[in-house]
Structure 1
């Protein structure tokens, strides 16, 4: 065992920079696991500033002074934030409340649909199975309704924290944009002066993260906006809520689209019944998903490192389990970072100098 450990240490940790990088990764992971929830506004502000920095850079290339570019981009960010808080958020919450009020009618219609299944498909589904499904759905919907009713009282501390975040996040975003060079220089001074491997990983990860995060934000806006327009023209209820869900579903490749299809189909079924209108809704929804996967994603992410679908799914499950929603959103960038680290990691072949080749 000792010989195996010495061999691994010689192969992967002979370089001093590799040891320092390994310690930084371990310390960073422990830090975010322990204090990630506490520093959520800081992390969120960093992410937003990272996205906005691309707009600042583009304006700089067009000849606009950096200070003016930062101010203009920050004002645009504030406008979008205010529009979301006072425009989209109340509309979505209103539709969620209305949907909760119509839950009893949906359950009754669901029971009617389920009761017909054993008669039409007696060899595939039994009456007992339908009863179990109905009881499970009724329980889950009842829990959801109870949560919505008690939300206004139990979530007052969360609302206070949200109000604090609404003040802190814009301030932090502004200073991250304004003092970006100063902050990066301060971090660089804490690292070894000679760090070619770290610089290689930084450049690759920074480039890939920038392309992915900004592309994903743009994809959410395009998919969510087009879904809202299409569902609104088709007369589907709860359009804002469904458009928000469909837009956010692109965050989780493969899994998100499959999961969000269920509420879209259920609401369309209860709104229009089983008929031509329902089919049109599902066809339009399928077209949006197809255009997203076959046109929009290749255009936005053509220069992003391709990861195997199995690695993407494993990354979503793992990082989502560790960091929740943020872990799901950054599962692919984190997997890309690990890929860059493994690609740049120095590997020294051969046996350790003190090893005896004759030993078994």
Structure 2
């Protein structure tokens, strides 16, 4: 057994580049695992910098210096963010408040509908089943209410932290854009000279991560705005709130669309009942999801690495469990990174075997 392990070790770690790649991967993984919550502002700034680097590059190609390009792009981006916060957040908050106020009447309406099921379908539903369902729903409602209340009280403690983030993140983004090459050069000083595989993986993943972030932002905006316009035309309540939820649901592959279907269907059911308007909403929502999965995603992510749905779901569960929202957001590029690391490692070992 020991002999087999020695053979495997000598075969896999005979190349110094493989050892460098392995040590860097383990070091970064350990840093994110133990200190991930402390470097969230840096991760947020990095995502925004990836998003804004493309317009900065376009401006530089016209002859504008990097400092001026970064400043102009940051000013435009800040103006757009402020406009969104001032124009959209109050609307979402108002609709959310109305939804919370209407929730008790919705629950009563749903309770009344359930109570009619035993008389309408006596062969399928009995009163005991309805009572069991109602008690379970009421118990979950109380638990959710307590969770929301505790979360709200705890979030008050983080107000100062959020204010600090609002100052630090824009500064980090600006300096990442302005001093991109200096920062990369400084990072390279800490990497050993045997970094052929690291460079190979970096070149493969850099463009993919940029395309993924830019594509996800565009997908959220397109899906969310299309859903909002469609629900407004169909006169569905809370159109802005539901459109926002549907837009952000694309962050969680496969699972997000299924989860957001529940509030969309419930609001349509309580507003219209089981009538033609209800089915119009469901059909329109299904068409939006179908167009997103079969047309928009292939267009936006044509350069992304193909991954089997099983790998994507496993990546969402694993990285989401480690780092929450950002783990879910980066699940696909992280899964692609793991595959790129394994491919680079395997190719290196194959070359060493051929040389031997």
Normalised by the length of structure 2, the TM-score is 0.92
Indicate if the aligned counterparts of 2:16 and 2:194 stay in contact, CA closer than 8 A.
Answer: no
1:47 match = 47
Alignment partners' CA distance in 2, 1:76 and 1:125: 59
Alignment of 1:164-203 (within 5 A): 164-203=164-203
What is the CA distance between 1:141 and its match in structure 2? 2.4
Report how far residue 90 of structure 1 moved.
Answer: 3.0
1:95·1:241 contact (CA, 8 Å) conserved in 2? yes
Q: Greater helix share, 1 or 2?
A: 2
Match of 1:102 in 2: 102
Contact 2:21/2:195 (CA < 8 Å) preserved in 1?
Answer: no
1:347 maps to which residue? 349
Structure 1 spans left out of the alignment, 5+ residues: 354-360
Deviations 1:205-235 (A, max 9, x none): 1111111111111100111111111112222
Q: Which residue does the alignment assign to 1:4?
A: 4
Closer/same/farther in 2, CA of residues 32 and 333 from structure 1, 3 Å limit: same
**Does the C-alpha gap of structure 1 residues 54 and 129 become closer, same or farther in structure 2, counting only changes over 3 Å?**
farther
How many residue pairs end up in the alignment? 351
Partner of 2:67 in structure 1? 67
Report the equivalent of 1:225: 225
Distance 2:90 2:158 in 1: 17
Give the distance between the partners of 2:148 and 2:162, measured in 1 at CA: 18
SS at match of 1:17: helix
Alpha-carbon distance between aligned partners in 2 of 1:68 and 1:126, rounded to the nearest angstrom: 72
- Counterpart of 2:116 in 1: which secondary structure? helix
Shift of 1:68: 2.6
Two-structure CA RMSD over aligned residues (Å): 2.0
Question: What is the match of residue 278 of structure 1?
Answer: 278
Q: How much has 1:73 moved relative to structure 2?
A: 1.4
Contact map agreement 1:197 1:344 (CA 8 A) in 2: yes
Deviations 1:81-134 (A, max 9, x none): 223333323322332222122221111111122223344445554433332322
CA distance, structure 2, for counterparts of residue 176 and residue 147 of structure 1: 38
Q: Deviations over 1:298-327 (max 9, x none)?
A: 111111111001111111111111111110
Give the distance between the partners of 1:221 and 1:121, measured in 2 at CA. Answer: 44
2:114 maps to 114
Contact 2:201 2:341 in 1 (8 A): yes
Cα contact 1:97–1:148 (8 A) shared by 2? no
Render the CA deviation track for 1:236-286: whole Å, top value 9, x for unaligned: 111221111100111111111111111100011112221111111112111
Tell me the residue number matched to 2:156: 156
Cα distance in 1 between the residues matched to 2:330 and 2:336: 10
Change (3 A) 1:333 1:320: same
Secondary structure of the residue aligned to 2:37 is coil
